[in-house]
Structure 1
């Protein structure tokens, strides 16, 4: 992103700051990332001792992360060494972060309280006539003749600002609008990044906040691309991510990004599939062009099908990890024990962000939506070894078993149809022949949150 500050790695390379100066600031020149505390102690081989090794957490959207930001006090540390302007901006950022986890279009907010106060004050000014002598929009003669004067200029400005604030905070700058509508997302990026001079940006928020917890909402490839890390730095850092069942993740994505409770899951998945096709056509992962929630999970953890993250943990295993009954993750795409420092972080993670849902995620699916989600995130099923079948929904297995699927015609088969007649004969009305399970996706449930530890941006 063009408005980001130079990373510490580039500052070091450009000679703008010395390693000694970074050490005085409590930052680690070896990892090229801001740290808090002294430099880590090293073992006999020159590597950092495990208890002091840096942690890099690559935050896969809708897979868990907000609990870790609380554990490592990200909101407080992100604002360290920042001026008052950016401290206020970051405070507001994390405030909005919490709001959008509770509602798609937050109504009961501080912004709307200010809107109500502004409307009340401007209306009082209008009817009291206190400001008319200052900014009159009609002549004294008109007033004397009983002419109904319009509100004063100040009143009009206050009304306009109140309406703009209400629309912006309640609708425009929310996940459903700014995430799903590219134009709004780009407008938001320009407004906050360039017009407001990076109001909510902090190098520490983007690149890490302490030796014990880096929280980054970038793919690992972008962390390296933008110079926040070098590939060689990964040798001295314990990196990890949390992933989850792609079907469950899609329901979480839906709850976070839907246009309110009246948008059905099926309609959402259809529109999401179009966004995924645009991403798949170009392979571009830049936020300017593709919303990060659209990306498959492996984009955050892998490079050309090779795992870069040291430790990938399944969200479904977190309960067992916390209870001490499980201790495994993916390391180089093979099962391995979780590194001690990562294991401790996961066990210390607060679970205050649990969210409730009206029905199990399995009940959101019918044959078409199940197949669309499988098509979008097929690589995630393979790489992270998730079963492509949905538990408790055997009637969906036929739609998931076929090796060929045409989303435009619902055609299922072992290969692409050879003729139009074959295509018509084998077109799959069966995709919608079976009714959904109870609590069907057609029912417009009210907004309810997930029961998983999955709260994320």
Structure 2
């Protein structure tokens, strides 16, 4: 199994377990910059050198050796499950991807047909009933997470705890799990704990939101998208995420965490 989704600086100053839709583009660019004093020219997900990634064959041995020995400071970043699933919908289902096409080829047409989802069209300014369409998408997402049909859950809406657990189960240990909602504080706490070849001034780092501008803008407050049934579906998919990462299930309008992440609890509950 190894350590899928794990990135490590070439200097081995830090190890990061990627969680999709949780500031991963910005974190990857900060890691790259901390080694090279410059950002990767393009989407950091496309980089094949300058940063160790488990998906690259030459990176697997150094990552495995480091993580199993806990040789570097290891961290990840999480996000409120309500805003994360909404972001996945607008980016991956409604948005046009970097290659100019819809995400995963025939996925969107099949959702339009089977679940009655509308996604709008860039030609007409993405006009559609966002709330109704999102709630239908939630039914599809729940079907993938709960029953793995009509497909396995996509990494962008599978539970954060699932991503985070693979690192623990295979022998890794986190030193820090911070929140996207308090990104500067969290990322600064990582940088304070490590020594990097190049110094990083977090205040001067731009945000690398690679999914922005490719799809419709969210037209309503977060809470408007979630009625009782939607909240039930979200809890069914993300109960562990709410509990372990201390987010407020009762109030979709509150994106901020309501407690501190207990690393011992995370390792105990995700480590089997």
Q: State the TM-score, normalizing by the size of structure 1.
A: 0.35
**C-alpha RMSD of the superposition:** 4.4
* Aligned counterpart for 2:89 among listed residues 254, 267, 270: 254
Q: Is the 8 A contact 1:301 1:308 kept in 2?
A: no
The answer on 1:339 being equivalent to 2:169 is: no
* Aligned counterpart for 2:16 among listed residues 50, 57, 75: 57
Question: CA 1:376–1:244 in 2, change beyond 3 Å: closer, same or farther?
Answer: same
Question: How far has the Cα of 1:60 moved from its partner?
Answer: 0.4
* Aligned counterpart for 1:35 among listed residues 6, 10, 21: 10
| Cα distance between partner residues in 1 of 2:164 and 2:184 | 22
| Cα distance between partner residues in 2 of 1:215 and 1:290 | 22
Larger radius of gyration: 1
| Cα distance between partner residues in 1 of 2:172 and 2:247 | 16
Q: Report runs of 4+ in structure 1 exceeding 6 Å deviation.
A: none
Q: Is the 8 A contact 1:62 1:249 kept in 2?
A: yes
Q: State the TM-score, normalizing by the size of structure 2.
A: 0.56
The answer on 1:272 being equivalent to 2:141 is: yes
| Partner SS, residue 292 of structure 1 | coil
Aligned residue in 1 for 2:115: none
Q: After TM superposition, list the pairs within 5 Å mapping 1:17-96 onto structure 2.
A: 35=10, 53-73=12-32, 94=43
The answer on 1:368 being equivalent to 2:203 is: no
The answer on 1:291 being equivalent to 2:128 is: no
Question: CA 1:215–1:248 in 2, change beyond 3 Å: closer, same or farther?
Answer: farther
Aligned residue-pair number: 197
Structure 1: which 5+ runs fail to align?
2-32, 37-52, 78-89, 98-199, 219-223, 281-287, 330-336, 394-457
The answer on 1:301 being equivalent to 2:164 is: yes
Question: CA 1:72–1:308 in 2, change beyond 3 Å: closer, same or farther?
Answer: closer
Q: Is the 8 A contact 1:62 1:253 kept in 2?
A: yes
Question: How far has the Cα of 1:351 moved from its partner?
Answer: 2.0
| Cα distance between partner residues in 1 of 2:231 and 2:171 | 27
The answer on 1:311 being equivalent to 2:167 is: no
Aligned residue in 2 for 1:230: 64
| Cα distance between partner residues in 1 of 2:18 and 2:85 | 16
